Amino acid sequence: MPTIAIVMGVRIVIYPKDHLPPHLHARFAEHEAMISIVTGDVLQGSLPRPKLTAVQDWLAVRREHVAYIWEEIRALRYRGGMIE
């Protein structure tokens, strides 16, 4: 489960064998949210509002890059590294 970023203490993870639609998992303490890469909407779960807003803002700026990484992880070609 590659961690691709940490945003305000929220770990951003994409699983190699995860299902469609393209999404990421955002984990903070006991909270976890599954967030659409395309829309930024919460598909499942929850995060505290300030943490969710930070992740959605981060994603909005990097959406294309995150979508590319999602494809690379699913194809097992991702070499690792964090997105700032």
pLDDT for the residue numbered 81: 73
pLDDT for the residue numbered 73: 92
Domain coordinates in residue numbering, the chain: 3-74
**How does pLDDT run along the chain (84 residues), one tens digit per residue?**
689 999 999 999 999 988 999 999 999 999 999 999 999 999 999 999 999 999 999 999 999 999 999 999 999 888 777 777
Burial class (CB in 10 A: 0-12, 13-18, 19+), 72: middle
Could you tell me the pTM of the whole model? Answer: 0.92
pLDDT for the residue numbered 36: 98
Contacts of 8 (CB under 8 A, 6+ apart): 50, 51, 54, 55
